[in-house]
Amino acid sequence: MSRVPILIASFLFLFQLPSSFAVAGESDSPTAYSLLQSYNFPVGILPKGVVAYDLDTSTGKFHAYFNDSCSFSLVGSYQLNYKSTITGYISENKLTKLSGIKVKVLFLWLNIVEVMRKGDEMEFSVGITSANFAIQEFLESPQCGCGFECKDSDSKLEMFGRNSFVSSS
């Protein structure tokens, strides 16, 4: 009886099929955000607005696409910039060889090349140095333009003023 192995093989093939295709953000397939979660990352390391992504599950290489580049401020005074295409390699608790994500440190824009989850902390590496943040900072995706400042006022474009922690309500 050679049928059973063939059935199993084709079942496995079907099961793996979606991961090797480019996936639109709004179909029934997992979104880039739920995919991040399946690798044990919080969704908040990716801003809202991913329109498509692709992932090679054998290597972990991915591309994520926004309609446009995306800037906002995060956790106090850090400013972040995401290009319209982000690439890198994903594995559990680990994003490596990232390109397309920059953070402004003092007067310099530095590439974030690695993001690691270490327990309840997220470690962002710019190569020469790294910074850790509590995972609670990343439970929600920031919005391009206003980051987390726009939760109560969607239409307001407030890029600055994160330091003041003034509620707009």
Enumerate binding residues for ligand NAG (CB under 6 A).
49, 51, 67
Give me the residue whose beta carbon is nearest to ligand NAG.
67
Question: Which residue, 24 or 134, is less far from ligand NAG as judged by CB?
Answer: 24
Q: How far is CA 101 from CA 10, 25, 34, 64, 117, in A?
A: 39, 20, 20, 11, 17
* 163 phi/psi in degrees, rounded to 5: -65, -25
Report the C-alpha gap between 138 and 136 in whole angstroms.
5
Q: Closest separation between CB of residue 144 and ligand NAG, Å?
A: 9
Instruction: Give residues with Cβ within 8 angstroms of 106, minimum separation 6.
Output: none
Question: Which residue, 45 or 113, is less far from ligand NAG as judged by CB?
Answer: 45
Question: Which residue, 34 or 168, is less far from ligand NAG as judged by CB?
Answer: 34
Q: Closest separation between CB of residue 103 and ligand NAG, Å?
A: 23
* 59 phi/psi in degrees, rounded to 5: -105, -20
Q: Closest separation between CB of residue 68 and ligand NAG, Å?
A: 8
Q: Closest separation between CB of residue 2 and ligand NAG, Å?
A: 48
Question: Which residue, 9 or 24, is less far from ligand NAG as judged by CB?
Answer: 24
Count of all residues that appear for the chain in the document: 169
